[in-house]
Amino acid sequence: MKYAFSLLAVIALILVAGLGSLVPGMQYLFGVVIPYLAIMIFIGGFVYRIIQWAKSPVPFSIPTTCGQGVSLDFIKQDKLDCPTKTSEVVARMFLEIFAFRSLFRNTKSELHNGPKITYESSKWLWLFALLFHYSFLMIVIRHMRLFVEPIPFWVNAVEAVDSMLQIGAPTLYLSSVGLVGGVLLLFGRRLVSRHVRYISLNNDYFPLVLIFAIAATGILMRYFMRDNIDIMNIKQLAVGLVTLSPVIGAKIGTIFYIHLFLVSTLLVYFPFSKLMHMGGVFMSPTRNMANDSRAKRHINPWNDPEIKPHSYAGYEDEFREFMVDAGIPVEKELTAVKDEA
Amino acid sequence: MYNKGTIIPGLIIFVLFVTFPIWFNGLSAAPAPKPEMPPGGEKKCVESAEYMRANHMQMLNDWRDNVLRDDNRTVVEVEGKKYRKGLQQACMQCHTNKEKFCDNCHTYAAVNPYCWDCHLTPKEAASKGGTR
DSSP A248-275: --S---HHHHHHHHHHHHHHHHGGGSGG
Does some domain include residue B73?
yes
pLDDT of residue A303: 84
Task: Tell me: pLDDT of B93 over 70.
Answer: yes
Does some domain include residue A299?
no
Mean pLDDT along residues B52-56: 93
Parent domain of A190: 2-288
Does some domain include residue A44?
yes
Q: Which residues of chain A have pLDDT under 50?
A: none
- What is the C-alpha separation between A82 and A78, in angstroms, rounded? 6
**Which residue type does A188 have?**
G
Length of chain B: 132
Q: What is the pLDDT of residues A114-171, one digit of tens each?
A: 889 888 888 888 999 999 999 999 999 999 999 998 899 999 999 999 999 999 889 9
Q: Is B32 left (phi over 0), alpha (psi -120 to 50) or beta?
A: beta
Task: Tell me: pLDDT of B132 over 50.
Answer: no
Does some domain include residue A298?
no
Does some domain include residue A59?
yes
- What is the C-alpha separation between B61 and B75, in angstroms, rounded? 16
Angle ∠(A230,A142,A181) on CA atoms, nearest 5:
100
Are A232 and B111 a contacting pair at CB < 8 A? no
- What is the C-alpha separation between A217 and A254, in angstroms, rounded? 10
Pick the residue of A242, A251, A300, A302 with the most B CBs within 10 A to test the interface with B by mutation: A242
Helix, strand, coil tally for chain A in percent (to 5) = 60, 5, 35
Residue A252 sits in the same domain as residue A314:
no
Class of residue A153 by CB neighbours under 10 A (exposed 0-12, middle 13-18, buried 19+): exposed
Parent domain of B80: 49-128
Of A163, A138, A284, A283, the C-alpha closest to A215 is A138
Are B109 and A145 a contacting pair at CB < 8 A? yes
Task: Tell me: pLDDT of B131 over 60.
Answer: no
pLDDT of residue A341: 66
Judged by a CB distance cut-off of 8 A, whether residue A157 touches chain B is: no
Residue A198 sits in the same domain as residue A150:
yes
Number of structural domains, chain A?
A: 2
Residue A240 sits in the same domain as residue A319:
no
pLDDT of residue B127: 84
Q: Which of B7, B15, B25 sits opposite A239 (nearest CB)?
A: B25
Q: What is the pLDDT of residues B26-53, one digit of tens each?
A: 888 888 888 988 888 888 899 999 999 9
Residue A322 sits in the same domain as residue A231:
no
**Which residue type does A267 have?**
L
pLDDT of residue A110: 83
- What is the C-alpha separation between B34 and B75, in angstroms, rounded? 29
Class of residue A182 by CB neighbours under 10 A (exposed 0-12, middle 13-18, buried 19+): buried
pLDDT of residue B129: 66
Work out the minimum CA distance from A241 to partner chain B, whole angstroms: 9
Q: What is the pLDDT of residues B72-87, one digit of tens each?
A: 888 888 888 888 888 9
Q: With contact defined as beta carbons under 8 Å apart, do B23 and B13 qualify?
A: no
Residue A105 sits in the same domain as residue A27:
yes
Residue A108 sits in the same domain as residue A166:
yes
Q: With contact defined as beta carbons under 8 Å apart, do A276 and A270 qualify?
A: yes
Does some domain include residue A237?
yes
Does some domain include residue B103?
yes
CATH of the domain at A76: 1.20.950.20
Q: Which of A160, A169, A230 sits opposite B58 (nearest CB)?
A: A169
**Which residue type does A158 have?**
V
pLDDT of residue A227: 87
Query: Considering the entire predicted model, what is its pTM?
Result: 0.90
Are A228 and B50 a contacting pair at CB < 8 A? yes
Q: Which of B53, B108, B114 sits opposite A149 (nearest CB)?
A: B108
Residue A283 sits in the same domain as residue A316:
no
Residues of A within 8 A of B32 (CB-CB) are 232-233, 235-236
Residues of B within 8 A of A239 (CB-CB) are 21, 25, 29
Does some domain include residue B23?
no
Does some domain include residue A28?
yes
Does some domain include residue B85?
yes
Number of structural domains, chain B?
A: 1
Does some domain include residue A249?
yes
Q: Which of B18, B27, B54 sits opposite A243 (nearest CB)?
A: B27
Residue A223 sits in the same domain as residue A105:
yes
Class of residue A171 by CB neighbours under 10 A (exposed 0-12, middle 13-18, buried 19+): buried
pLDDT of residue A35: 97
Does some domain include residue B38?
no
**Which residues between 203 and 262 in chain A have a beta carbon less than 8 angstroms from any beta carbon of chain B?**
226-233, 235-236, 239, 242-244, 250
Residues of B within 8 A of A43 (CB-CB) are 15, 18-19
